[in-house]
Amino acid sequence: MNRIGTVAVWAVVTLCVLTLITLPINMQTQLIASITIVALMALIKILKGEGIWRLVALALGTAIILRYVYWRSTSTLPPISQLENFIPGFLLYLAEMYSVGMLALSLFVVSMPLPPRTGRTSEVKSLPRVDVFVPSYNEDEALLANTLAAAKAMDYPADRLQVWLLDDGSTEQKRNSHKVLEAQAALARHDTLRRLCEELGVRYLTRARNEHAKAGNLNNGLAHSDGELVAVFDADHAPARDFLRETVGYFDDDPKLFLVQTPHFFLNPDPLERNLRTFEKMPSENEMFYGIIQRGLDKWNAAFFCGSAAVLSRRALKETDGFSGVSITEDCETAIALHARGWNSVYVDKPLIAGLQPATFASFIGQRSRWAQGMIQILRFRFPLFKRGLSIPQRLCYMSSTLFWFFPFPRTMFLIAPLFYLFFDLQIFTASGGEFLGYTLAYMLVNMMMQNYLYGTFRWPWISELYEYVQSVHLLPAVVSVILNPRKPTFKVTAKDESVLVSRLSEISRPFFVIFTVLFIALLVSVYRFYAEPYKADVTLVVGGWNLLNLIIAGCALGVVSERGEKSASRRVRVSRRCDFVTDGHSFPATIENVSANGARVQVYGIDRQNVGFDMDAVIRFVPYGGDEPEELPVQVRNVEGHGDLTAIGCRFTPCVARHHSLVADLIFANSNQWSDFQLARRGNPGILFGTLWFLRVALYQTSRGLVYLLRSAKPGARVAKAGEAGPGVAGEATR
Amino acid sequence: MRAVLAAALIASSTLSAPLYAQQPFDMSGERSPDATGAPPQPPPAPAESPEAPPAAPEASPGGPLPQPAGATTGQRMFVIPSDRLSLAGETANREWTVYLTPEQAEAASKLNFGYRNSIYVAPEASTLSVFVNDTLIGEGPIQSPGDVSDKSFEIPYGLMRPGTNKIGFRAAQRHRTDCTVQSTYELWSDVVPERTFLEFDAAKMTAQPTLDDIRAVGVNALGQTRFNIVVPKLEQSATMTPLLRLSQALGMLAAMPNQVFEFSTGLPAKAEAGELTVVVGTAAELEVILPRLPDGARSGGIAAFMENPATGAPILVLTGPSWQSVESVVDNILAPVDRPPDVTRAVLATQRWTGMNTPLLTGSARLPFSALGLKSAEFSGRRFRTGFHVGIPSDFYGDAYGEARILLDAAYSRDVLPGSHIDVYVNGSIASTVPITRAGGDVLRHHPIRFTMRHFRPGANLIEIEAVLQTRADQICSPGTTASNEPRFALFDTSEFRVGDFARIAQLPNLAAVAGTGFPYGRGGETVDLIVERTDNQTLSATATLLSQLSVMAGRPIRTVPKASAAATGGNAIFVGQISQIPPVALAQTHLSEEAAKIWGTSAQSASADANTDMLDEWRQKTSSSSWQKPFAAVSEWLDRTFDISLGSLRFRPGEEAMFVPPDTANVVMAQGIGPSGGGAWLVLTAPTPEKLQSGAATLTRNANWERLSGSLTLFGIGDTPMESRPVTRVDFLPTQPFSFWNYRLIAANWLSTNILSYAVLLACLSVLLGLVTFSLLGRFGKGR
């Protein structure tokens, strides 16, 4: 069958399905149909149907969702004559339709994602010259040293690889600032980084003025370099050794290729993962995007540039005069421009860089605000649906990516909708208890099953809702502001090197407690009304249940904004690497157990614990991936413990020369397989039932934790005491 | 007294223009208005007509039951078109129309009625009002809890008009002591038909009856209308067709709810109210029973009123030199009520019992309550109920999925507590409940109430709105609370009844469609085969009663073609006869067992086996479930009530319909089936004996019973539930509308809502197919091909 024939058949079948779905059947029929389809979907799920069954299950779910949409549109809106009901009712309806629309778009994107590409390491005819750009604004030397060292250590002919530090933190503008403090800092930074670059063999570049933020900085880099390919790494994104080997080959295959994007892998948890303690066992938030959505986008040749961890073609960038800078998400904007010009992109689903993400809730929100505002700017200025040059699938893909960021509106609507009834007795959704059972409940169930089908191993039940809720509270004003003033937002660099040493409430946690209180009062009201007004107990039950769901999520969010103090400032990566631990001229066989940017924990065999003291200098000797000879990395002992022949020694790196940074980078970043393994270990689908139970447990615990933090913070002087307590924690950093 | 009261030659040319049921029918074309002695539109007169002589002594209020003797029929006219008229609840309103000749309209002086009421009705707070043509002619307290009280209200001169006049009774009743909603069900007043009549000024009743008097035939004390058709030579089979056409013409002219036809060969010995005797035959045949024939009867067809020599009551004589001329007279009577095949009706002729003709909705419609005969009303009690009729075509097929809406304009005061509710009933079954949830009063503007069309049936449907209002005052119920006139609820006639397009396809068998619009026998342009094996008086009477009823419902006469045997029929057919006379093939097609022909009515059947299940049910109710089971029982009951899914509705194909033997308690059976060739709907009316057939036809066609015909078979007998119906198990569809995608979509919706498992399977299969096709589509597009 040719393509036109397939499309025709598909259109006919779709038309039949739509005709059947838009029949005004009665409630009994709907109920039986819902039960049948939910049962079929569950059956496919239990039998772990993949491939063609995945699409069958999705089609079954789509049928129920379209039934719901049809019914919701034709039967449930309050009469327009009752404006007090109609307006909130219609807003809720819009919110639901937005959700359904987004589900439709994401179905299009991810119903059949490309399988992960097998490595493209060999058979490169000619290795092109690559310029590696590491744009920096305010990151400190140690962080940059690691990144630059890792970039420099990439497995690629040295003569064809040039690493650039694009320093926007010490531009002429900054160095000549009228503020003396700023000027002095910029001057100092300029000198330090210059020296670092010289030591590492990296080219240092800065410019006159901080124009067009990151895009301008990168364009400045483009103007001063001439490699055929450009790799971009954020200052905190250190590449693995095989980064270029895995990516460059694709440019050989396709002359019209402009981008090879790889996932962002984070060594540290985001605030939610950290405060909920899910980093080790639950897939990260961004894994849904990099694990499946980008693969889905790649199917439609719409994988887009994410600002870092990507290789781009200079030839392509020349066509658009470099990186576009209208929006504050220059990466996606550049990708749209190049896709519209007929260039192609490729996504490689293997973590090849490791980076940091914001540690505090406030900077997490700041980062998300930038993404949301940037994507809405793109929607506003480059409206992808009508962007000439894009293929229809690409348009849909970009619409999906940009429209996603309107989620604060529906999320807010879902949050407050039950309150209209509970507090003001408005009827914004006209349905009987039976209809609710036959339509709404079936819709919700099917929706969850479809989400689980699509993203099950990458996203556990209710976690999307939680992420959306915690972001919505602060993103809503940001999104509203960018809609009103699309040109106003400016590029702000997200701080990623913060750490929370003391347990405390986030500085932007107050709205969460207010919302929680309101929802809790609503819960009490619903209980009261259930008994006081028996004639509408069914409606109260449904609305109260909905509110309870919101309350559970809001309660869980209290845990998210209650920042747990952490002893370690930077995240340890579990490695297993043979080495020798050398102290006082004696060498002991040892294994590096885990490593962070600042230190490592080593299991040493046969050392006399008495001879190892605090602050003692030592050396770890190991063979880096990038060389054949063992090299030495100086450390300082921080902590010793052990049983029998094995002694665990916590030590801090004391790098003196640039080469030491390379060695640290080699320890942490060289082996990309360890990141894949870590990700795979977290990927598991708990299923809707167990996922829900698990979430309930977490939510209950986090609610109590949030309330305890609130009580503590209310006590005067509590913070001071906590700060004092934290002291030894800082000292004991990198010990455990 | 003159032998001939009036004679009117019917010239076919004067009546050739077809007139329809709603238009006044007047055959007294040649007669000048002055003949009645009064102008046709008399000026409005004061309440007491000075010309009216004192009421006849036997008609005085509280007097003995008036004897419906022939001597008084000229002065009195029973008006209630049913055997009982009950005004129940706190507010009740009943309206209907009567047809008066110009002479009667002129002479009408009083409306007498007898009533009695429930002991609970508080006389000081309850009023019975009587209306004529929407004008109040009198009202008074309801205070007759013991015996029937008679009341008499003067009819202002000029209020009654020649032709159709509306009579209305309205009761506002309050309980003596109780303030609960439950107590309102104890409130009723019965207006007694046999004591309710119009009284005419005898002095003005001198004019001669004309053919117009056919419409004014009226009712007897039981609300029945009887046509005695006297045919001296009844046994000639060739006369059957004109006689049946005549009975349909008479039935359609009168259009009364309970009409009975009785054939006999001799003149009746007694004249009764609500009765018209029609003598039919050639001049030669009639000579035997009539002392004199109308002038010119030997030269041409003639229809004339004469006096019954035995009773002195007027009789209608149809005669001529031959049967052909008699037939032409019949055709002339029939012509004005006939309706060409391509003309559709906008209304159903129900005004004689509902007060106004019922609008017939053939699709999407919106009707304000004012157009449905409702008026804005304020209400101070606790249970307000009012209703209206809407007509639905016989090919209505939206019972499973359809929804109608009422956009309610109403208001309730701040006294009304949440927990009150507004309910909608369709033909007596609850269809929707809207709780009032807001305290403090509210004005509802076009508040939508959606309700299922499940209880709709072809023909006129009664839709009622009931507001059940709870107040704090009622909960306290201090003395005098019930008498309060503080309005709590108001319903405005700007409210709308709205219905969208519904699926239209005829279903066979469907007795409800037969009852509603005479479908499919009343379809224009089609003939109906009539198989009546033996034309005895009783069978012929039953046939005439049935056909007349069908033609009234269909709004046009049924064009019957007599057929000798079932084998000769190809299309629609009607079989009337004693069960042993019905052809076996007709029994088989209507799923009546052949056994029935032998054993029905012979007491050979064993007693009903239902006794056991009844007993079981009783015991179930007696044993109360323990308290911890209650929530489960409540949930299961809620599920039952809300979804009403039985295992039967989960079947893919209906089971084979079992052959049916009517129980001995059944007196008459009406059944419908499909002809053996697959085309044509066969209707069988049968009973064990000719006598039961005749009385059974009369019973079934009584309006109250006729409206309840349903399924493929309905029987009427004796017992607690005399009327029983068998649901249709296998339906044949008969397209009635030109093909349109929209209609077929709705038909599919209804079919799938009836066969609900089919929908689930179809949806699942199509979705699976969509999944497969999408898989193949995605495989051909994008990367990774």
Q: Are residues B699 and B558 in the same domain?
A: yes
Q: Quick one: how far is CA B53 from the chain centroid? A: 38
For residues B188 and A49, the model is more confident at B188
pLDDT category at B46 given cuts 50, 70, 90 is very low
Nearest CA in chain B to A433: B642
Please name which of A547, A522, A409, A549 lies closest in space to residue A466, comparing C-alpha atoms.
A549
- Contact present, A212 and A168 (Cβ < 8 Å): no
Closest to A212 measured CA to CA, from A124, A334, A348, A313: A334
- Chain B contacts in chain A segment 17-36 (CB below 8 A): 17, 19-21, 23-29, 31-33, 35-36
- The reported pLDDT for the residue numbered A723 is 38
Start-to-end CA span in chain A (Å): 62
- Give tens-digit pLDDT for A194-221: 999 998 899 999 999 988 888 999 999 9
Mean residue pLDDT across chain A? 88
How far is A409 from A414, CA to CA, in rounded Å? Answer: 9
| Residues of chain A contacting B443 with CB distance shorter than 8 Å | none
Interface test mutation site (partner A, options B642, B763, B765, max chain A beta carbons within 10 A): B763
Question: Does A115 touch chain B if contact means CB atoms closer than 8 Å?
Answer: yes
B608 pLDDT above the threshold of 90: no
Write the secondary structure of A431-485 as one string of H (helix), E (strand) and C (coil): CCHHHHHHHHHHHHHHHHHHHHHHHCCCCCCCHHHHHHHHHHHHHHHHHHHHHHC
Contact between B316 and B303 (Cβ < 8 Å): yes
- Confirm whether B366 is domain-assigned: yes
Inter-chain residue contact A29 with B760, CB threshold 8 Å: yes
- Cβ of B764 within 8 Å of Cβ of A82? The answer is no
pLDDT band at A668 (very low <50, low <70, confident <90, very high): confident
Optimal mutation site among A15, A17, A29, interface B, most CBs of chain B within 10 A: A29
Average pLDDT on A708-733 reads: 54
Range of the domain at B389: 360-505
For the cut 50, the answer to whether the pLDDT of residue A539 exceeds it is yes
pLDDT of residue B29: 36
Q: What is the DSSP letter of B148?
A: -
pLDDT for B699 equals 93
Q: Which of A4, A9, A25, A41 to mutate to test the interface with B (most CBs of B within 10 A)?
A: A25
B interface test, pick of A10, A23, A257, A424 with most B CB neighbours within 10 Å: A23
B156 to chain A nearest CA, in Å?
45
For residue A29, give the nearest of B446, B642, B752 by CB distance.
B752
Are residues B479 and B560 located together in one domain of the fold? Answer: no
Q: How many CA atoms lie within 13 A of B707 on its CB side?
A: 19
| Domain membership flag for residue B481 | yes
Q: How confident is the model at residue B40 (pLDDT cuts 50, 70, 90)?
A: very low
Q: Which domain CATH number covers B161?
A: 2.60.120.260
Chain B residues touching residue A31 (CB < 8 angstroms): 643, 645
Provide the H-helix boundaries in B555-609. 584-589, 594-599
Residue B590 sits in the same domain as residue B477: no
**Is the predicted pLDDT of residue A534 greater than 90, yes or no?**
no
* pLDDT at B62 > cutoff 60: no
List the structure tokens of A674. 């360890």
Decide: helix, strand or coil at residue B343.
coil
The answer, yes or no, to whether residue B627 has pLDDT greater than 80, is: no
Q: Are B77 and B121 within one domain? A: yes
Within chain A, all domains assigned CATH 2.40.10.220 are found at 573-672
Q: Name chain B contacts of A9, Cβ cutoff 8 Å.
A: 773
Catalytic residue, chosen from A331, A349, A497, A666, is: A331
Domain count for chain B, please give it. Answer: 4
pLDDT at B366 over 50: yes
- The pLDDT value recorded for residue A491 is 73
CA gap A520, A502 in Å, rounded: 29
The answer to whether the CB atoms of A56 and B777 lie below 8 A apart is: no
CB distance B361 to B104 below 8 Å: no
> Which residues does chain A have within 8 Å of residue B403's beta carbon, measured at their own beta carbons?
24
Q: Which residues of B touch A8 (CB under 8 A)?
A: none
Of the partner residues B400, B448, B777, the one whose CB lies closest to the CB of residue A7: B777
Please give the torsion angle defined by the CA atoms of residues A38, A39, A45 and A51, in that order, rounded to the nearest 10 degrees. Answer: -80
Confidence of residue B5 (pLDDT cuts 50, 70, 90): very low
**B778 contacts A82? CB cut-off 8 A:** no
B77 and B125 belong to one structural domain: yes
The residue of chain B with its CA nearest to that of A117 is: B784
How distant, in Å, are the alpha carbons of B182, B381, B436 from that of B416?
17, 11, 9
Query: Is the pLDDT score of B610 beyond 80?
Result: no
For residue A281, name the pLDDT band (cuts at 50, 70, 90): confident
pLDDT at B649 over 70: no
Q: Give ∠ CA A161-A166-A169 in degrees, rounded to 5.
A: 160
pLDDT of residue B30: 36
Phi-psi region of B281 (alpha: psi -120 to 50; beta: other; left: phi over 0): left
Assess whether B365 and B437 both reside in one domain.
yes
Is the residue at B165 inside a domain?
Answer: yes
What is the reported pLDDT for A586?
A: 86
Our answer to whether residue A349 is catalytic in this structure is: no
A43 in contact with B, Cβ within 8 Å? no
Percent of chain A scoring above 70 in pLDDT: 95
Nearest to B763 among A24, A37, A437 (CB): A37
Among this protein's residues, is A270 annotated catalytic?
Answer: no
Vertex A19: Cα angle to A18 and A24 (nearest 5): 110
**CB proximity under 8 Å: A 356-395 to B:** 393
Share of chain B above pLDDT 70, in %: 84
Backbone phi and psi for residue B577, each to the nearest 5 degrees, phi listed first:
165, 170
Of B419, B745, B769, the CB nearest to A23: B745
Whether B105 is in a domain gets the answer yes
The per-residue pLDDT for range A59-103, each reduced to its tens digit, is 999 999 999 999 999 989 998 888 889 999 999 999 999 999 999
* B60 confidence band (pLDDT: 50, 70, 90): very low
In this structure, are B500 and B523 located in the same domain?
no
pLDDT of residue B270: 87
Are B436 and B467 in a shared domain?
A: yes
Picking from B189, B209, B229, the residue at the C-terminal end of a domain is B209
Catalytic member of A167, A168, A234, A349: A168
> Kind of pairing, strands A203-205 and A229-232?
unpaired
Could you report the per-residue pLDDT of B176-235, keeping only the tens digit for each? 988 999 999 999 999 999 999 999 988 887 777 888 788 988 899 999 999 999 999 888
Q: Rounded mean pLDDT of B637-655?
A: 66
Between the alpha carbon of residue A75 and those of residues A69, A447, B206, B451, the distances in Å are: 10, 20, 64, 12
Q: Does the pLDDT of residue A331 top 70, yes or no?
A: yes
Strand partners, B149: B115
What's the rounded mean pLDDT across residues A10-29?
Answer: 94
Contact: B450, A75; criterion CB under 8 Å? yes
- Mean pLDDT, residues A646-671 taken together: 86
Residue B713 and residue B780 in one domain:
no
Q: Are residue B540 and residue B414 in the same domain, yes or no?
A: no
Q: Give the integer Cα–Cα distance in Å for A685 and A282.
A: 9
Residue B530 near residue B247, CB atoms below 8 Å: no
- The fold for domain A130-357 equals Spore Coat Polysaccharide Biosynthesis Protein SpsA; Chain A (3.90.550)
Report the distance separating Cα A539 and Cα B336, nearest Å.
58
- CB-nearest to B771 from A9, A56, A438 is A56
Token look-up 């200079």 returns A314
Min Cα–Cα distance to chain B from A29, Å:
5
Q: Which of A472, A359, A463, A370 is nearest to A413 (CA)?
A: A472
How far does B642 lie from chain A, in Å, by closest CA? 6
Same domain, yes or no, for B682 and B772?
no
Which pLDDT score, from 0 to 100, does residue B533 have? 83
Enumerate residues 551 to 570 of chain A having a beta carbon within 8 A of any beta carbon in chain B: none
The predicted pLDDT at position B624 comes to 54
Residues above pLDDT 90, as percent of chain B: 53
> Does the residue B528 lie in any domain?
yes
> Average pLDDT for residues A699-703, to the nearest whole number?
95
In chain A, residues with a C-beta closer than 8 Å to the C-beta of B648 are none
Would residue B56 count as lying in a domain? no
A79 Cβ under 8 Å from any chain B Cβ? yes
How far does the CA of residue B772 sit from the closest CA of chain A (Å)? 6
Distance from CA of A30 to the nearest CA of B (A): 8
Q: B733 to chain A, minimum CA–CA distance in Å?
A: 19
**If you count residue pairs, one on A and one on B, with CB atoms under 8 Å apart, how many are there?**
172
Q: What mean pLDDT, rounded, does chain B reach?
A: 84
First-residue to last-residue Cα distance in chain B: 107
* Domain-located, residue B155: yes
Please enumerate in sequence order all residues whose Cβ is within 8 A of that of B296, keeping only pairs 6 or more positions apart, or say none. B9, B302
Q: How confident is the model at residue A385 (pLDDT cuts 50, 70, 90)?
A: very high
* pLDDT class of B606 with cuts at 50, 70, 90: very low
Assign residue B629 a region: left if phi > 0, alpha if psi is -120 to 50, beta otherwise?
alpha
Confidence of residue B39 (pLDDT cuts 50, 70, 90): very low
Q: Does B314 map to a domain? A: no
B226 in Cβ contact with B276 (< 8 Å): yes
**CATH 2.40.10.220, applies to A573-672:** yes
The beta strands (E) that lie in A72-138 are given as 130-136
Of B209, B231, B256, the residue at which a domain comes to its end is B209
Q: Does A7 touch chain B (CB under 8 A)?
A: yes
Residues of chain A with CATH 3.90.550.10: 130-357
Question: Are both B518 and B455 inside the same structural domain?
Answer: no
pLDDT single digits (tens) A154-200: 989 989 999 999 999 889 999 998 999 989 999 999 999 999 999 88
In this predicted structure, which of A362-376, A521-535, A631-645, B462-476 has the lowest mean pLDDT? A631-645
B516 CA to chain A: closest CA distance, Å?
Answer: 25
Determine which of A14, A32, A43, A536 to mutate to test the interface with B (most B C-beta atoms within 10 Å): A32
Single residue among B477, B505, B533 that ends a domain in this structure: B505
Contact A63 B763 (CB under 8 A): yes
What chain B residue is nearest to A115 in terms of C-alpha separation? B784
Q: In A, which residues are within 8 Å of B756 by CB distance?
A: 25, 28-29, 32-33
